[in-house]
Structure 1
Amino acid sequence: MGGHANGTEEIILDKRREEHIQHVFDGFCKRVLKNAANDYYDEIMRRSKHEVLLADCWNLPHTIDEYVLESAVYTVLGEDIRFTNSALINALDSLSEENRTIILATCVMGLPDREIAEHLKVVRRTLTYRKAKLLQELRRVLSDV
């Protein structure tokens, strides 16, 4: 009978030890996730201090020349948008129609990603990712001009 009680104590100790290990592991996982989230938000904040939104550039003070050598009209979600800047026209012409719609709907029309994604029948996250890549590419192309 004494041996049987000893076995029960070992089982109870093993369960307690297992629960302790689970709690320690849970705590470790929570710390790792929290630190990863903090790192992600810190990176976003660091980048946002140096980024200039293309949409903000549209509102800068500017003059419009009276002569127009070249112009282009793009129809985006049923609205016509005219451009006269040849560098911008060339950059926009290099995009597919869907990518051009993403850029113009965001930067000119000011539509939120959710609404654009609905019009294009794509997932919002996919649209957000593509928009970020497109803006990066347009910045590179237009800065070379």
Structure 2
Amino acid sequence: MSHHKEHSFDAYCKTILRRTAANAHKQRKRLAVREIPFSGLSETELNRLCCYDDYESDKQIFTACGREIEIRCDALCLALEALTQRQRDILLLSSCFGLTDNEIGQLLHLPRSTVQYQRKAVLDYIRELMEVTNEQ
């Protein structure tokens, strides 16, 4: 009789292990239908999942004719600080606020040609500074 109990217990244990393994495989299949690995996500989907911390120390605020713009790039902040206030105003009003040379000239009481010349010179200067910074 003892021998029969051993076989019964052995069969019971094997049945439990088979059913547990079968349940685990079914669970994996159910999850595989609903879950996608990160490597399978597109760039757009990954961007929707990310979260960025916003710290006051990570940005600098520049003002141009009473309008404020936040800059988060340290290299760009350094380049903007190297400019005179008038050069910075021209660049920010043009690039960030989309004003034309004529509109900037009216705000700063300068001829349009002066604004155009300084805007081009400042953009060239900023481009050089940024290239040097990126090379380092």
Structures share a fold, TM > 0.5? yes
Matching residue of 2:23: none
2:59 to 67, 71, 75: 71
Matched, 1:103 2:58: no
Q: Percentage identity across aligned positions?
A: 27
Change (3 A) 1:112 1:73: same
Matched, 1:114 2:102: yes
1: distance between equivalents of 2:52 and 2:88? 25
Unaligned 5+ runs, structure 1: 1-62
Residues 1-145 of structure 1: pairs in structure 2 closer than 5 A? 65-66=52-53, 68=55, 69-145=57-133
1:78 aligned partner, one-letter code: G
1:76 aligned partner, one-letter code: A
Equivalent residue of 2:58, what SS? Answer: coil
The alpha carbon displacement at 1:80 in A equals 1.2
2: distance between equivalents of 1:88 and 1:109? 17
1:89 aligned partner, one-letter code: C
The alpha carbon displacement at 1:67 in A equals 5.1
1: distance between equivalents of 2:51 and 2:83? 25
The alpha carbon displacement at 1:77 in A equals 2.0
Q: Deviations over 1:10-66 (max 9, x none)?
A: xxxxxxxxxxxxxxxxxxxxxxxxxxxxxxxxxxxxxxxxxxxxxxxxxxxxx9842
How many residue pairs get matched?
Answer: 83
1: distance between equivalents of 2:111 and 2:68? 25
TM-score by length of 1: 0.53
Larger radius of gyration: 2
2:108 aligned partner, one-letter code: L
What value does the CA root-mean-square deviation take over the aligned residues?
A: 1.8
Equivalent residue of 1:144, what SS? Answer: helix
